[in-house]
Amino acid sequence: MRYLLALIAGAVNVACFSPFEWWFLLLPSFVIVFFLWQNARPGQSFWIGFSFGIGQFGLGVSWVYISIQTFGGMPPVLAAVCVAAFVFILSLFPALAGWLQSRFNRYGFVSRVVVITPVCFVLFEWLRGWIFTGFPWLTTGYALLQTPLSGLAPVGGVYLLSFVALTSIGTIMALIRDINKRTIFVALFVAGLWGSAWVMDQFLWSTPSGQPVSVAIIQNNVPLLEKWQPQQRQAIIFEYIEKSQRHKDKDLIVWPEGAIPDYLENLSDAFWQFLEQHPSDFAFGSLHQPEPGGDYFNSVVAAGEGLEIYNKQHLVPFGEFFPMQSLLAPVLKYLTIPMADFSPWNQHQLPLPLAGHLAAVSVCYEDAFPGEWRNQVPTAGLLLNVSEDMWFGNSLAPHQRLQMAQFRSRESERPMVRSSNNGLSSLIDWRGTVTAVAPQFKKAVVEGEIQPRQGVTPYIRFGDLPALILMLVMLMPSLLFGRRALR
């Protein structure tokens, strides 16, 4: 029964995120898990956390099946086995968090539920964000984007919100169990954290910079199975050109990831002449192969007064490159993914000049990893993300990705232009609010204005350090009081 309850709690947790955004369900979801972890032995705590992970990731990232079976061509049974293995690995993180917090099982209830357990859970969320190249999907803090706690996003990022939310849930549990001087003190401290979030929400870390930029995002909904067919190439390029001709009044026109299904080096003089003669600046996704027969990159081209290129750094495992090819060869041979052997760019890159401003650039999956583009943001006035979300079909993933993109704007206080091939192309303001969005699976053009900004938020300057410091500040006295209670 305890494992079934944990499984249900994990599944309920998925509804806290986009497209549902029922963030208040974090309370029952984690109350169940925290309660089940109380007085459970280490082995039991491990399996409780594992069951929670199976519910959360089994439902929340089920779209992986669509990616590798519908579009990757893998046989259904093998695809199901691969997805199950992936969910198994992800579930190990909350399982290990449960095992670790159980090592403090004899400490005081308040110390454990308010601090130790939240610290352990957030620690393994953080580890999941970078180990094995990282998979930071469904990190708790993303669910709190539209809550009063969002004021902390520019200060400490998503993990700070995760910790404050979980320690708040633990405090509620402590108050329900017993109201005494200690629980009242803890409640006042946590209330102070919420108050600081409100204060930070009123504080501006950035200010407007220069004139607003008028933008047109071209979303052509090109079918993924047609995109890389050579006979379709010219028609695809022509459609982008033809639609862009209607928007000569815009400062910036953006096409999505891989909009040009060819190498830059192969494009005709007529194409480059079109860009040169058009009054707008352009940003678009394409392939880049600096040397014939050499490495090739998933790139973004900025075409304005000159030509600048950003090459993708954080590639998607099994989508853009294949790790452990010798070990996984029997499985990988069933994947028929076009253009799936990219090289990662491993050198420092600067923001791209667009429409009189600098844009911090990311390609698709990269916007889930804020630490990897923090170096671009201080001098940039806006964020730019180009994506190919057709891989996810009609699933939760495009909505989850948009929510993470909104969080990137909130924590950096920069507007974002987000261009996707098949839907949810959007303009996001500096507070993380979507101001214009295109529907899914339709050809559309998103038009609007963004106001670039300047200034550096604490998160952009220090990354996850503020969140780690807060957890350490609260953890040390909790361990001290917990040990005293143990004695």
**pLDDT number for residue 70:** 85
CB of 314 within 8 A of CB of 269? no
> CA torsion 228→300→450→457, rounded to 10°?
130
Burial of 291 (0-12, 13-18, 19+ CB in 10 A): exposed
For 8-18, write each residue's pLDDT tens digit.
999 999 999 99
**pLDDT number for residue 128:** 96
For residue 144, pLDDT over 60 is answered with yes
Model confidence band, residue 303 (pLDDT cutoffs 50, 70, 90): very high
Model confidence band, residue 335 (pLDDT cutoffs 50, 70, 90): low
Residue 312 annotated as catalytic: yes
Q: Same structural domain for residues 374 and 411? A: yes
Q: Same structural domain for residues 99 and 179? A: yes
Q: Choosing from 364, 388, 411, 413, which is the catalytic residue?
A: 364
Q: Same structural domain for residues 153 and 270? A: no
Q: Same structural domain for residues 198 and 246? A: no
**pLDDT number for residue 282:** 98
Q: Choosing from 21, 82, 312, 413, which is the catalytic residue?
A: 312
Q: Choosing from 21, 257, 308, 366, which is the catalytic residue?
A: 257
| Mean pLDDT within 358-383 | 93
**pLDDT number for residue 108:** 83
For residue 91, pLDDT over 90 is answered with yes
Residue 443 annotated as catalytic: no
Q: Same structural domain for residues 269 and 406? A: yes
**pLDDT number for residue 137:** 95
Residue 364 annotated as catalytic: yes
| Mean pLDDT within 259-263 | 93
Model confidence band, residue 315 (pLDDT cutoffs 50, 70, 90): confident
**pLDDT number for residue 105:** 84
31/52 Cα distance (integer angstroms):
12
CB of 420 within 8 A of CB of 371? no
CATH of the domain at 374: 3.60.110.10
8/12 Cα distance (integer angstroms):
6
Q: What is the pTM of this model?
A: 0.95
Q: Same structural domain for residues 232 and 356? A: yes
| Percent of the chain with pLDDT strictly greater than 90 | 79
For 220-246, write each residue's pLDDT tens digit.
999 988 888 999 999 999 999 999 999
Higher pLDDT, 314 or 16: 16
| Mean pLDDT within 414-433 | 97
Burial of 172 (0-12, 13-18, 19+ CB in 10 A): middle
Structural domain boundaries, residue 128: 2-204+463-486
| Mean pLDDT within 156-169 | 97
Q: Same structural domain for residues 323 and 452? A: yes
| Mean pLDDT within 241-265 | 96
385/303 Cα distance (integer angstroms):
16
Task: Please state the domain count of the chain.
Answer: 2
132/89 Cα distance (integer angstroms):
10
Q: Same structural domain for residues 73 and 87? A: yes
For residue 49, pLDDT over 60 is answered with yes
Structure tokens at 150: 């969002």
For residue 333, pLDDT over 80 is answered with no
Model confidence band, residue 487 (pLDDT cutoffs 50, 70, 90): low
CB of 381 within 8 A of CB of 349? no
Provide CB contacts within 8 A for 181, sequence distance 6+. none
For residue 323, pLDDT over 90 is answered with no
**pLDDT number for residue 480:** 74
| Mean pLDDT within 121-137 | 94
Model confidence band, residue 338 (pLDDT cutoffs 50, 70, 90): low
Residue among 62, 84, 26 nearest 137 (CA): 62
Mean pLDDT for all residues in the chain? 92
Q: What is the DSSP letter of 392?
A: G
Q: Same structural domain for residues 27 and 49? A: yes
Q: Same structural domain for residues 433 and 298? A: yes
Q: Same structural domain for residues 231 and 132? A: no
CB of 12 within 8 A of CB of 52? no
418/216 Cα distance (integer angstroms):
11
Q: Same structural domain for residues 61 and 84? A: yes
3-state DSSP call for residue 355?
Answer: coil
**pLDDT number for residue 482:** 62
